[in-house]
Amino acid sequence: MTYCLGIISAQGLVMAADSRTNAGVDYISTYRKMFDFSVPGDRTIILCTSGNLSITQSVILSLEQDLASLDVEHLHSHRSMYDIACYVGEKLRQIQARERDWLEKDRIDAGCNILVGGQVRGQATELYMLYRQGNFIKAMPETPFLQIGEIKYGRPILDRTLTFRTSIEDAAKCALLSFDSTMKSNVSVGPPIDLVMYRADSFEIRHQLTFHRGDPYLLQVRSEWESCLKTAFERMPSIDWERKNPAADRTEPLGFLDQ
């Protein structure tokens, strides 16, 4: 399984990806899922991948081949992140169309997702999530993060904490908390974790780390977060079992936490 996360903010972009893949409980491997195609001073382009590994690796290899050629469109020839997302989406469709029939014969899912984030000079910092069909959605100030892979365990902290105005440093910290929650609940997601923090308009990735298993900071984050959650839980008011139910006289159905 995989977990990848992108966060957009007024100050820039945070992207993170784990490195664990598995094809059953007895076959677990480590493969890089974050790829940097940046050109310092001109554009920052980060891709994170999840899903069928053979498909995503083929997409990355095809992008690299195009960059090595002088007579085809490539990641560095497009003028906007939107155009780059369209280009990567088309690559994804082409490779899936080529491989799908053969994979489906053995009942292998060819689906995958890709996060595309970065900034082209003259444009704003942007983040896109590509679906298996090659189409995509864009992160907006109202929805400042996008996830792919095993998303459910790491989402609550993001929903409760992040806004578009969150500082880029706090967004990076929140990303690691999201990964810790995911790894705590799903052993198919695990280190190494690649983390990038990009400041808008710098056109240079100055902050990039890889966290391996047993990393002191990851251990500290888990310990302090669990302690804070336990303290918050203990401070919650006890249930008043003798109270009158305010919904007792209602005749219509009551929605959860209806207001």
Sheet containing 126-130, strands listed edge to edge, beginning at the edge strand earlier in sequence: 34-36, 43-51, 112-120, 126-130, 136-138
Tokens 């990303």 map to which residue? Answer: 175
Task: Identify the DSSP state of 237.
Answer: P
Q: How far is residue 189's CA from residue 208's CA, in Å, rounded to a whole number?
A: 20
Both tokens of 101, joined, read 């029939």
Predicted confidence at residue 2, as pLDDT, reads 87
Strands (E), the chain: 3-9, 12-17, 20-22, 28-30, 34-36, 43-51, 112-120, 126-130, 136-138, 145-149, 193-199, 207-211
Predicted confidence at residue 100, as pLDDT, reads 79
For the chain, domain boundaries? 3-235
Question: What pTM, to 2 d.p., does this model score?
Answer: 0.88
Q: How far is residue 180's CA from residue 247's CA, in Å, rounded to a whole number?
A: 39
Predicted confidence at residue 23, as pLDDT, reads 45
Q: How far is residue 55's CA from residue 61's CA, in Å, rounded to a whole number?
A: 10
- The candidate with the shortest Cα–Cα distance to 21, out of 176, 187, 199, is 187
Q: How far is residue 75's CA from residue 66's CA, in Å, rounded to a whole number?
A: 8
Q: How far is residue 79's CA from residue 59's CA, in Å, rounded to a whole number?
A: 20
DSSP codes joined into one string, 45-114: EEEEEEE-HHHHHHHHHHHHHHHH-SSS--TTT-SSHHHHHHHHHHHHHHHHHHHHHHHHHTT----EEE
Question: How would CATH label the architecture of 3-235?
Answer: 4-Layer Sandwich (3.60)
**Cβ atoms < 10 Å from Cβ of 18:** 28
Residues 91, 95, 99, CA angle at the centre, nearest 5°? 170
Tens-of-pLDDT digits for all 259 residues of the chain?
A: 689 999 999 999 999 999 876 544 555 667 889 999 999 999 999 999 998 888 999 999 999 999 999 789 999 999 999 999 999 999 999 999 888 788 888 787 878 999 999 999 999 999 999 999 999 999 999 999 999 998 899 999 999 999 999 999 999 999 999 999 998 888 778 889 999 999 999 999 999 999 998 999 999 999 999 999 999 999 999 999 988 776 655 555 555 555 5
Q: Is 216 helix (H, G, I), strand (E, B) or coil?
A: helix
